[in-house]
Chains A and B, each alone.
Chain A
Amino acid sequence: MQSRKITAVLALVVAAAAVVLFIALNDSSDSNGAEDRSFDLEFADGKAVGGAQDISVTQDDHVTVTLHTDEPAELHIHGYELSKEVDRGATGSIKFTADATGEFEVEAHPIAHGEEGDGVEIATLQVNP
């Protein structure tokens, strides 16, 4: 019985220490101020040049995503539901504030004969809290 009580007290102390450290560590992970972040993506031959990119920003950052494409395509940021049509050989940008956290797909939908095709993933946008 005695050893059980000691075990219980010990466990409680460790649990309390864990909670305190948890809170302390959690606070330090907060970031300071919004930044301006720009990313250039290239779409050629129906693919993302260099494969799908991993883009990582912090919540509330001002983000600019720019697409260069060799065919008419629509740049689409899922979740934020932002899109922009870009002409052959041209460049188009979407500017937004990354207010929602999560991992969002960035796709290019090639446009042929005025019809939008299936999206090709060109980047993953990670918005961290």
Chain B
Amino acid sequence: MTIPVAHALLIGRRDLPIPEWLFAWAAAVVLVVSFFALSLLWRRARFEDDTWRPAPAGLSRVVASSVTEFAAGLAGVFLLGVVFWSGTAGTDLPGLNFAPTFVFITFWLGVALLSVVLGDVFRALNPWRAIGRAYGWGIARLTGAPWRPPLAYPERLGRWPAAVGLVAFAWLELVYGATEPAGLQPHVVAIAAAIYTAYALAGMALFGTEVWVRRGETFSVYFEMFSRLAPLEVREGRLGLRRPLAAAAGWATMPACLAIVVAAIGITAFDGAQEGVLNGGINGVSDALEGIGIGTTASFRLSATLFLLLAIGAIGGIYWAGVAGMRTVAGSPPLAELGRAFAHTLIPIALAYLVAHYFSYLVFGEQAQFTYLLSDPLGNGSNYFGTVAAKIDYTALSSTAIWYVQVAALVAGHLTGLALAHDRAIAIYGDPGRASRSQRWMLLVMVCFTCLGLFLLSQANQ
């Protein structure tokens, strides 16, 4: 039996596949542009320097003040509370309840894009960090001594807890949510949020708030990754400007950073493919599992989980194949070190995939978020702000505009990834000749990712 795959939300509308002529032209442009990029090789690293200039003191005082920080933390805790409340007390129709749209569109997609532009905004808004800091502050007030976490974080774990959390979050939306007949039900979102909150607070209680936020807290780690592309950063309590992209170079300093960016690309690729190219495979395996006596829904979930992990593995495989090729260049560091050294060059690709697959979803979803879901978060007919009668205007974005944004995002991500990789090659190999030989391999990796992205967009939904 075939279970119709649906997005967790906004069921009923999908983007049109990009037309063949656009696919062909975009792929051709990518190849030509890459060819051109190879001929442009600069000889000195340009993005490895993350010089930071402070912004005017007045602006800095407003943005980075403790009052702003407190207000942002409070807002974060309040919004988490609204998710619990609407998820448990509201309607179980996903499209009419505040919680699913807020978590999977406004939060997951919106904050990621905001981070690319404004920097690490989630650090201030993070409800779990706010609770952890308030707890530490309270303990310090009561005992007169600063609070100390009971355990030292095992540093070789790096960001693995965050990487696992990322895949779990994607699984909830793309595998669990897709098999529900009516999408991802709000009460499930509330339960998941409660479990995650308990997990995050436990992590902070054991290892310390800031330690956990930088390593184990999935959303902090994920959004901070994108904020590395932004030109704004708060450093030692002051807001300042830095070169866009420059901070990416210093991102992958602990274990599992590569796993996070590969998983980020893999889950988006899986989402794009599960309604198209992977549909047959998922249903085939699902039928086979059903044949050996597993229930329909469980079979489908097992099968989709398998393909989700395969998609992440495939992205990792492409990357490692390129790194192995690069390793053939004389003077290369060991394979594992080389692989880690280029992890940050995939951040723009992850962003490009995110924009290409979810741009329209965000635009349409936010129309709901800021009108009827705001006025009627429970879906019970209340009308707090008088906007309950509004509808999503699907003519707000034409399909042609969506196509151009999708293709432009992939091409821009491709170019940015290439620029970062070239820079890193110069830093590693020193000699421009060897650097450019190594970069033929990264070029191949980037062309693979970009053409895969275009291919997924061009596939008709089943």
Give A contacts to B, CB under 8 Å: 4, 7-8, 11-12, 14-15, 18, 21-22, 25-26, 29, 59, 78-81, 99-105, 107, 118, 121, 124, 126-129
Contacts and interface: CB of A to CB of B under 8 A. Distances in A.
Contact of B399 (A8, A80, A101): A101
Contact of A118 (B15, B25, B182): B182
Nearest to A25: B21
Given A18-B28, A118-B182, A103 B39 contact: no
Contacts of B28: 18
Contacts of A14: 32
Given A18-B29, A102-B15, A129 B36 contact: no
Contacts of B398: 59, 101, 129
Central interface residue in B13, B19, B21, B25, by most chain A CB within 10 Å: B13
B14 interface: yes
A129 B38 CA distance: 37
Nearest to A99: B395
26 contacts: A7-B36, A7-B39, A8-B40, A11-B32, A11-B36, A11-B39, A15-B32, A18-B25, A29-B19, A78-B11, A79-B13, A79-B392, A80-B394, A101-B395, A101-B400, A103-B14, A103-B16, A103-B461, A104-B12, A105-B11, A105-B13, A107-B12, A128-B16, A129-B16, A129-B398, A129-B399
A128 B39 contact: no
A17 to B, nearest CB: 9
Contact of B400 (A21, A107, A126, A129): A129
A81 B372 CA distance: 15
Contacts of A105: 11-13
Contacts of A81: 391
B39 A8 contact: yes
A29 B25 CA distance: 15
A24 to B, nearest CB: 11
A20 B22 CA distance: 13
A120 B40 CA distance: 55
B181 interface: yes
Nearest to A102: B13
Contacts of B40: 8
Main secondary structure of the interface of A (DSSP, over half): mixed
A79 B19 contact: no
Contact of B39 (A4, A79, A107, A127): A4
A23 B360 CA distance: 23
Nearest to A78: B12
B33 to A, nearest CB: 7
Contacts of A127: 399
Nearest to A6: B39
Contacts of A22: 25
A14 B461 CA distance: 33
Contacts of B15: 102-103
A128 B403 CA distance: 12
A103 B395 CA distance: 13
Contacts of B135: none
B35 interface: yes
Contacts of B33: 11, 15
B331 interface: no
| Shortest Cβ-Cβ A-B pairs, 4 listed | A78-B12, A100-B394, A11-B36, A101-B399
Nearest to A13: B32
Contacts of A104: 12-13
A104 B392 CA distance: 14
Nearest to A17: B32
A107 to B, nearest CB: 8
B375 to A, nearest CB: 17
A118 B180 CA distance: 11
Interface in B1-44: 4, 11-16, 19, 21, 25, 28-29, 32-33, 35-36, 38-40
A4 B36 CA distance: 9
Contacts of A78: 11-13
Nearest to A103: B14
Central interface residue in A21, A29, A81, A100, by most chain B CB within 10 Å: A100
Nearest to B400: A129
A125 B11 CA distance: 14
A108 B62 CA distance: 55
B392 to A, nearest CB: 8
A19 to B, nearest CB: 8
A121 B275 CA distance: 15
Contact of B4 (A18, A21, A121): A121
Nearest to A77: B12
B187 to A, nearest CB: 18
Given A18-B28, A100-B394, A118 B36 contact: no
A12 B36 contact: yes
A7 B398 CA distance: 38
A8 B36 contact: yes
Contacts of B394: 79-80, 100-102
B16 to A, nearest CB: 6
